Structure 1
Amino acid sequence: MPGAGAPRGQGQSPAGMGPLGRPWVLLLTYTLTALELTCLFMQFSIIPYLSRILGLDSVTFGYLQTTFGVLQLLGGPVFGRFADQRGARAAFTISSLASSALYLLLAASCSPALPGVALLFASRLPAALMHTMPTAQMVITDLSTPEERPAALSRLGLCFGLGTILGSLLGGTLSAACGIHCPAIIAFVANLLGAALSFTCIPASTKAASARGQAAPPGGPKASLFDLKAIIHLLLRPGVLPVFLIKVISGFPSGLFMVMFSIICMDFFGLEPAQSGYLLSFFGLLLMITQGLVIGQLNKHFSEGALLRASVLVFCVVGLAMARMSSILHFCLLMPGLIFSLCALNVVTDSILTKAVSPSDTGTMLGLCASVQPLTRTLGPTLGGLLYRSFGVPVFGHVQFAINFLVLLALWRQPLPQKKSRVQ
Structure 2
Amino acid sequence: MSAASTPAGSGAEQGAARTKSENEERSEEAKKQQVILVAYLIATLDLIFLFMQLGVMPYLAKSLGLDSVGFGYLQTTFGVLQLVGGPIFGRILLMCICSHCNPRESYWLPPKVTESGSGPLYAVCVDVYFLLTLPLGLFLIMFSIISMDFFGLEAVQSGYLMSYFGVLQMVVQGLVIGRLTSLCTERTLLRLSVFVFAGVGLGMALMRNVLHYCIVAVPLVFAFSTLGTITDSILTKSVPASDTGTMLGICASVQPLTRTVGPAVGGLLYKQFGVSSFGYLQLVVNVGLFVYLLKSNIPLKEGKGL
* TM-score bucket of the superposed structures, by smaller chain: 0.7 to 0.9
> Does structure 1 retain, via aligned residues, the 8 Å contact 2:73–2:263?
no
Q: Is 2:243 aligned against 1:361? A: yes
Q: Give the corresponding residue for 1:181.
A: none
Q: In structure 1, what is the Cα distance between the partners aligned to 2:53 and 2:195?
A: 34
Give per-residue Cα distances to partners, 1:63-116, cap 9 Å, x unaligned: 2211221232344466556656653898xxxxxxxxxxxxxxxxxxxxxxxxxx
From 5, 24, 27, the counterpart of 2:37: 27
Give per-residue Cα distances to partners, 1:330-384, cap 9 Å, x unaligned: 1111111011111111111121112122112222222111111112111211111
Q: In structure 1, what is the Cα distance between the partners aligned to 2:30 and 2:286?
A: 44
Q: In structure 2, what is the Cα distance between the partners aligned to 1:205 and 1:255?
A: 39
Q: Is 2:97 aligned against 1:87? A: yes
Give 3-state SS (helix, strand or coil) of 1:87's partner. helix
Q: For structure 1, which runs of at least 5 residues remain unmatched after alignment?
A: 1-14, 91-202, 212-236, 420-424
Give per-residue Cα distances to partners, 1:382-420, cap 9 Å, x unaligned: 11111111111111111111100111111111254666x
Q: 1:208 to 1:342 in 2, by over 3 A?
A: same
Q: For structure 2, which runs of at least 5 residues remain unmatched after alignment?
A: 1-24, 110-118
Give per-residue Cα distances to partners, 1:10-62, cap 9 Å, x unaligned: xxxxx9x8573333332322122112221222333343344456554543332
Q: Give the corresponding residue for 1:65.
A: 75
**Structure with greater contact order relative to length (CA < 8 Å, sep ≥ 6):** 2
Q: Give the corresponding residue for 2:200.
A: 318
Q: Give the corresponding residue for 2:292.
A: 410
From 193, 205, 208, the counterpart of 2:106: 208
Q: Give the corresponding residue for 2:152.
A: 270
For residue 240 of structure 1, report the CA deviation from its aligned partner.
Answer: 3.5
Greater displacement, 386-395 / 70-79 = 70-79
> Does structure 2 retain, via aligned residues, the 8 Å contact 1:307–1:348?
yes
> Does structure 1 retain, via aligned residues, the 8 Å contact 2:55–2:155?
no
Q: In structure 2, what is the Cα distance between the partners aligned to 1:50 and 1:209?
A: 47
From 119, 126, 136, the counterpart of 1:244: 126
Q: Is 2:215 aligned against 1:333? A: yes
Q: Report the AA paired with residue 38 of structure 1.
A: I
| Higher helix content, 1 or 2 | 2
From 249, 259, 264, the counterpart of 1:382: 264
Q: Give the corresponding residue for 1:400.
A: 282
Tell me the TM-score normalised to structure 1 length: 0.57
For residue 283 of structure 1, report the CA deviation from its aligned partner.
Answer: 0.9
Q: Give the corresponding residue for 1:260.
A: 142
Identity of aligned residues (%): 50
Q: In structure 1, what is the Cα distance between the partners aligned to 2:184 and 2:207?
A: 31
Give per-residue Cα distances to partners, 1:128-149, cap 9 Å, x unaligned: xxxxxxxxxxxxxxxxxxxxxx
> Does structure 1 retain, via aligned residues, the 8 Å contact 2:58–2:144?
no
Q: 1:326 to 1:54 in 2, by over 3 A?
A: closer
> Does structure 1 retain, via aligned residues, the 8 Å contact 2:129–2:227?
yes
> Does structure 2 retain, via aligned residues, the 8 Å contact 1:78–1:364?
no
Give per-residue Cα distances to partners, 1:266-300, cap 9 Å, x unaligned: 22222222111111110111111112332122111
Q: 1:290 to 1:76 in 2, by over 3 A?
A: farther
Q: Give the corresponding residue for 2:231.
A: 349
Q: In structure 2, what is the Cα distance between the partners aligned to 1:339 and 1:89?
A: 39
Q: Report the AA paired with residue 159 of structure 2.
A: G
Q: Report the AA paired with residue 153 of structure 2.
A: L
> Does structure 1 retain, via aligned residues, the 8 Å contact 2:132–2:286?
yes
Q: In structure 2, what is the Cα distance between the partners aligned to 1:411 and 1:84?
A: 36
Larger Rg: 2
Q: 1:56 to 1:321 in 2, by over 3 A?
A: closer
Q: In structure 1, what is the Cα distance between the partners aligned to 2:229 and 2:163?
A: 21
Q: Report the AA paired with residue 361 of structure 1.
A: D
State the number of aligned residues: 269
Q: In structure 2, what is the Cα distance between the partners aligned to 1:55 and 1:325?
A: 29
What RMSD in Å do the two structures reach over aligned CA positions? 3.1
- Where do 1:287-298 residues align within 5 Å? 287-298=169-180
Q: In structure 2, what is the Cα distance between the partners aligned to 1:344 and 1:294?
A: 9
> Does structure 1 retain, via aligned residues, the 8 Å contact 2:120–2:298?
no
Q: In structure 2, what is the Cα distance between the partners aligned to 1:247 and 1:403?
A: 12
Tell me the TM-score normalised to structure 2 length: 0.77
Q: Give the corresponding residue for 1:299.
A: 181
Q: In structure 2, what is the Cα distance between the partners aligned to 1:318 and 1:250?
A: 12
Give 3-state SS (helix, strand or coil) of 2:291's partner. helix
